[in-house]
Amino acid sequence: MKYLLACFIALFVISACASQVHVGDQAPNFTLTDINGKRISLQDFRGKQVVLYLWFLYCPECTEDLAEIQELNNNSDERVIKFLTINPENSSKDVADFFTKNGYSFPVLFDLDGSIYKQYNLRPRSAPYTIIIAPDGKINNITVGNLHYQGGLKRLIGDNVTSFSPSAQTQKTPIIIVPSLQSHGVDELAYVSSETNTNSIYVVNANGEYIANSSGKMDALYHVSWSPNGDKIIFEVVKDINIDQRNMTLISSSDIYSLDIKDHEERRLTSNYPYSNCSPTWIEDDKIVFYSTRGSSYGSFLQNIYIMNADGSNQINLTNCAENVPMVLEPILSPDHLSAAYITGKLFDEDIYVINLVNGNKFEIGHNPTFAPWTWWSPNSKQIAYISASLNGGPESFYLYDVEKQKPIKYYDSPQSYSIMEIAWSPDSNKVAIFEKPQSLYVLDCLSSKFTKLDGICDWVVEMKWIPNNQQIAIIGDRFTNRNLYVIDIGEQSKHKINPEGTAVESYRWSTDNTRIIYCLDDGYLYTTFLPNLNTIKLMQLNKNTIKGLALSPDGLLIAVALSDDTLTVISLNNNKVCLLTNDYYNIGAISWSQNSNILAFEYGTLWDSPFVCSNIQIINFENEEQFIKLDKPISGRSPIWARKEK
């Protein structure tokens, strides 16, 4: 009786302490030693569901649960789920003897200094604890006490205990989605609709109700974008398109409009300017940057950068480029939208500038007498990488410019013109990767100014992205029908080819945080690879169909796939379930998710993709039992645009 009372009190205390560990939090990483002396880290299993079980030898409740863990470990797919038991007190010899006696083979890690208890805010020397961690690294479930009396471990982890068959598409079944926090605007969608030679912008909510629209008397609508707070939309209306016969340049004018979602007010923000291709962009909730372009007497383009308030007031020309010194190429905004890099000057005699869009201060960062530099902003908006390319076969020069110190540094000259194919900044802005033909990758450490060179990477780069650990780079490389996925480890100076030999990547999508890539191989399967641990899961068989639409939800947990057989499927990456949503809509095209990942929009019914061809648009609200809602107004051949509530 005293023993049972002690256990009850212990569990009560443990439960109170466990409230400090919250479901939905990112699970803290740890590195522990297993029974063979090998060091194991939690991050090694990113992309899999992980079950952590903390136990002692002298705890009867713990040893009772271990039998079920062994059974589940025998019957589970290790590509999908990993069981890690953690012993914070007993010696490896005692545990090894216990495992041999009971025939256990699941992994056990030793935490003799109690680091796990400190990281997860658990009561020291208490057990059992069960923590379920999702493939994205977030805590899904925390259970205190004996699992047998709480329905067993199998109830907590669901269908992942059996091997997953990617080729077996299930019948249409509900997908349980845990919604993100709701905020104004994130479930509202804007799209352009064309009727009787006029264009309108329509805004609908999650229930398919039209909550705002433009006047419907527009010509050509372009560059539709939401304000950061989701309250307004700006767009460009192009009109009066003509050709200057003297120099065969396109002459047109544009006006910028805004549409207020709350009060339904449409306002023309600019007029009487010879604008074309304004590309209006929000830099704050109440500030807009845009450009002016028109044909010049030099047969080139004159381009200036303007800012104005969201109501169209206080329009300021920041650059004041003269007609005989035109701006070339569209300005490149910094990631924080507070600065822009632009190039101005006559052909083959150009300067590159940076301008502060808030105060209008500008300064020259480089000069190139031969050809316009290309520029890449660092993620923190404090540095610019740029190269100067020569038209006469001379070398390319690679520079870094420190915006705060206003100082350029030349790092190296490549051996020939046009050899640098791609540049990518690491997420922490401390490294730059430069891919150079034919097969070389240079990595510059900006803090130490040291280069690391890796040869024999691949023949061609389609896309290059850093993984958030700032140590690895993922590359989609090689050419056309022989496209491959590589991961380069900078510290180990090693290359890993992810897709099997003899296969090629046909289409792919990155997650928003670059920790996952979804791709289709020419072997007829859809895969996902989790980075940086390179765990790869075969998701579904395509049955000789081609992918017409592929979209990963912003929370990284759902993939929507439209195939050429007119099926629309959603795959849950939490448990790898493949759910057929519908096969009732022909020729499904563009697919897009709302920011909170609860609503899916898709187009269907058009024969080809064109801004002048209308198709139907449908939304699926997963919060309302997968309710299908057809919108009354057709959509022109541009993808719908979801509101983005910036955090």
Strands 81-87 and 407-413, bridge-based pairing: unpaired
Domain positions in the chain are: 2-161
Average pLDDT of the chain? Answer: 76
- Quick one: 35 exposed, middle or buried, by C-beta within 10 A (0-12, 13-18, 19+)? middle
Contact yes or no for 641/188 (Cβ under 8 A): no
Alpha-helical regions (H) of 76-123: 92-102, 115-119
396 burial (CB, 10 Å; 0-12 / 13-18 / 19+) is buried
Residue 17 φ/ψ, nearest 5 degrees? -70, -35
> Distance between CA atoms of 519 and 509, rounded to whole angstroms?
6
* Each residue's pLDDT tens digit, 317-334: 888 766 556 565 668 889
Helix (H, G, I), strand (E, B) or coil at 389: coil
The stretch 606-616 carries a mean pLDDT of 51
β-partners of residue 390 are none
Burial of 181 (0-12, 13-18, 19+ CB in 10 A): exposed
Q: Which residue has the higher pLDDT, 609 or 115?
A: 115
Say if residue 634 is exposed, middle or buried (CB neighbours under 10 Å; 0-12, 13-18, 19+). Answer: middle
Residue 379 has pLDDT above 90, yes or no: yes
The answer to whether the beta carbons of residues 384 and 401 sit under 8 Å apart is yes
Output phi, psi for 425, to 5 deg: -90, 145
Task: Please report which confidence band the pLDDT of residue 392 belongs to, taking 50, 70 and 90 as the band edges.
Answer: low
Kindly report, residue by residue over 544-574, the tens digit of the pLDDT: 888 888 888 888 888 888 888 888 888 887 7
Average pLDDT over residues 351-372: 76
pLDDT confidence of residue 431: 94
Distances (CA, A) of 90 to 7, 57, 310: 20, 7, 66
Q: Percentages helix, strand, coil for the chain, rounded to the nearest 5?
A: 10, 45, 45
Residue 612: per-residue pLDDT: 40
Q: Is the dihedral of CA 367, 370, 372, 378 positive or negative?
A: negative
**pLDDT for residue 1 is more than 80:** no
Cα distances from 263 to residues 228, 231, 469, 642, in angstroms, run 17, 10, 45, 19
| Distance from C-alpha of 338 to C-alpha of 281, rounded to nearest angstrom | 11
| Residues in CB range of 339: below 8 A, 6 or more apart | 333, 354, 355, 356, 357, 381, 403
Report the b/e string of 473-508 with b at 16+ CB within 10 A: bbbbbbeeeebbbbbbbbeeeebeebbeeebbbbeb
pLDDT at position 248, please? 46
pLDDT of residue 150: 59
pLDDT at 277: 61
Q: Cα–Cα distance between 313 and 267 in angstroms, integer?
A: 12
Neighbouring C-alpha atoms within 13 Å toward the C-beta of 385:
24
Q: How far apart are CA 603 and CA 586, in angstroms?
A: 10
Euclidean distance between CA atoms 495 and 274, whole angstroms: 52
- 591 phi/psi in degrees, rounded to 5: -125, 140
* Spatial strand order in the sheet of 407-413: 374-377, 383-388, 397-402, 407-413
Q: State CA 154 to chain mean position distance.
A: 32
Over residues 73-105, the pLDDT tens digits come to 877 767 678 889 998 877 888 888 888 888 888
DSSP state string for 314-368: S-EESS---TTS-EEEEEEE-TTSSEEEEEEEETTEEEEEEEETTT--EEEEEEE
Among 344-348, 380-384, 414-418, name the one with the lowest average pLDDT.
414-418
CATH number 1.10.10.10 is the correct assignment for the domain at 2-161: no
Q: Which one is predicted more confidently, 604 or 275?
A: 604
